[in-house]
Amino acid sequence: MSARRFLTQVRGVDQHGAVHHQDRVQTHSAEDTVHIPRPFLMFTLLFVLSATTAQSQTADPSSKVLIRSAKPYAALETRISSLGGRVVYEYKYVDAIAAELPTGALNALRGAVDTAAITKDVEFTRPGNIDTLRGRNLTGGISNEFTADGVEPLSEADVQRIAAVNPNAYLLGNSVANVSSLHAAGITGAGVVVALIDTGIRPGFPHISVDGSVIGCEDFVHDSLGSTNSGNNYHGTFVAGMISANTTFVFGTTNPLRNAVLAECPACFSNPPTNTAIPMVGTAPSSSIYALRVFGPSGGASESRILAAMERSIELREKFDAGLPDGSNIQVVNMSLGGLTQFPGRELLDVEADVMLEKGIVPVIAAGNAGPSAITVGSPAASSGAIAVGAASLAHNERIWARLQLGPVNGSFYRPFLGAQTAYFSSRGPNADGRIDPDVLSNGVACFGQGVSFPINIPSGISNAEFRLSWREGWDNVPGNDIDLLIVTPGGSFNFAGATLNSPEQVAINNPVAGTWVVIVSAFKVPTETDKFELRVSLDGKVVK
């Protein structure tokens, strides 16, 4: 496989619900704007999508349920225990508990509560990719990940200057959000904490790490990874940047991404006429992120777990308001997830979102990806208190993406209409009870962000680093029956020793330079939601990833 195919890899569509200046990143002083020497940076063109519910297909002798019941819960919990079950969560801000008990005991439990009070604890699918080309990649695997030559942090003053002098530099990321005028006026989210209920954080990506944007993380998955780990799914890191990024990435004049942007959106650069610098500015670049991890690297998240994370965000805010040291001034909760609803505005997740608003927290929630049909907004976006965010498709973003995915063609052939439009997959309103949703649209097609590749930190004194990439399942999504391993040094140079037809791919590097290395897994559609690869990194014989 050629080096070009490593640098040009097909991805899909991803979703988030980030909007406006209620999103985050921490204040960045002018002294912190130190140039970082030629780091390797990855960019991904993603499409915003919402997770949907999926019920387990495997038989289980026990049932996981949510039970609505007024407090106190003592009598109900005693009854559950007597039936051989156990309570998983007690909820403070909504009247409900989560429990697991033998399926045969459900009928007996219905005598203690209303029949309608017991619902299945459904699983929400982790946010993933949508293949808008439907498998028709005409170039045979061009990527949406690209290497930048450098990164420059942006201070709050830098953001204000760009927003005032060159607001067109926002076109690639935030044109429909209309945040440039807010940023020019100094409204950048300073002092605001955004709780991000998602897949956790992957460390080492400068769009959120150069200024310490992430101020807290908590894990609700309880696997071996934790809330901050390079093995976490990319989605939370990507969305965190859409909220709080405040960096400028510099691209060489031969970079495919730079040239596609130059052809379709020349105003998107912040350094005309050189046109090599593209700002990555979130909707609230001076805010901070508090990550609550509910999705693991595979599988979904139960409704009970998501409810627990929502409750934790409220609890943190209440502690802050009470002056307690372990509180956090959470003013916004961002959720790129959702599922089907039979009772818009009345599901437990909807009620929890309403409580957030009562506590002074604005819930910003993806509307869903069940469009283009009407009445498809999911829960908890259907909550009365949530800002439901639909996905917009912008002409210049889609045209840039078309050049990168379909080859060097005029983007207008792919997207003739210049105006913004709702992405075809985005959920539509109204809600079944007549309420109008979604409330706002944010760019959801070909977004500009970071978080997909695999950063590996190699400390000083390591004499040998070994990288091994293998395939564990069928080749359904890889027509060439081959995946490749591309390694990038901290200085930005590439090692193509893993770009062969071997399986597994193995690369050994003696006396590796200390710093953050980046691993790219490349093929036609890797990573995907179904096919699986295994990446192993060993330093002096010890497996570290």
* CATH 3.30.70.80 domain extents, the chain: 56-121
Residue 474's pLDDT band, with cuts at 50, 70 and 90, is low
pLDDT band at 114 (very low <50, low <70, confident <90, very high): confident
Higher pLDDT, 57 or 359: 359
pTM score, whole prediction:
0.76
Residues of the chain with CATH 2.60.120.380: 456-543
* Cis upstream peptide for 490 (omega within 30°): no
What does the alpha-carbon distance between residue 283 and residue 493 come to, in Å, rounded to a whole number? Answer: 32
Please name the CATH architecture into which domain 56-121 falls.
Answer: 2-Layer Sandwich (3.30)
Tell me: pLDDT of 251 over 70.
yes
Examine the pLDDT at 131 and tell me if it is beyond 80.
Answer: no
Report pLDDT digits (tens) over 169-206. 888 877 788 888 999 999 999 999 999 999 999 887 88
Give the count of beta carbons closer than 10 Å to the beta carbon of residue 466.
15
Q: What is residue 90's predicted lDDT score, i.e. its pLDDT?
A: 97
Q: Which fold has domain 3-52+128-449?
A: Rossmann fold (3.40.50)
Per-residue pLDDT at 188: 93
DSSP code for 31: G
Q: Is the CB of residue 344 less than 8 Å from the CB of residue 338?
A: no
Q: pLDDT tens digits for 279-312?
A: 899 999 999 999 999 998 878 999 999 999 999 9
pLDDT over 70 (residue 379): yes
- pLDDT tens-digit map of 523-532: 544 444 444 6
pLDDT score of 255 more than 90: no
The arithmetic mean of pLDDT across residues 209-213, rounded, is 84
Hey, CA dihedral for 408, 412, 418, 420, is it positive or negative?
negative
So what's the pLDDT on residue 58? 45
Q: Is 105's pLDDT higher than 60?
A: yes
User: Would the pLDDT of 77 be above 90?
Assistant: yes
Residue 168's contacts (CB-CB under 8 Å, 6 or more residues apart) are 267, 268
- pLDDT average, residue stretch 140-164: 78
Q: Which CATH class is domain 456-543?
A: mainly beta
Spell out the SS3 assignment of 248-276: EEECCCCCHHHHHHHHHCHHHCCCCCCCC
- Euclidean distance between CA atoms 351 and 332, whole angstroms: 16
Q: Which pLDDT belongs to residue 40? A: 35
Contacts of 54 (CB under 8 A, 6+ apart): 122, 123, 124, 125, 300
Q: 169, 187, 205: which is closest to 27 by C-alpha?
A: 187
* CA-CA-CA-CA dihedral for 331, 336, 339, 345, to nearest 10: 30
Mean pLDDT of the chain: 80
Q: Are 90 and 97 in contact (CB under 8 A)?
A: yes
Rank 20-29, 30-39, 341-350 by mean pLDDT and report only the highest. Answer: 341-350
Contacts of 198 (CB under 8 A, 6+ apart): 127, 235, 236, 239, 240, 291, 292, 293, 294, 295, 334, 335, 336, 337
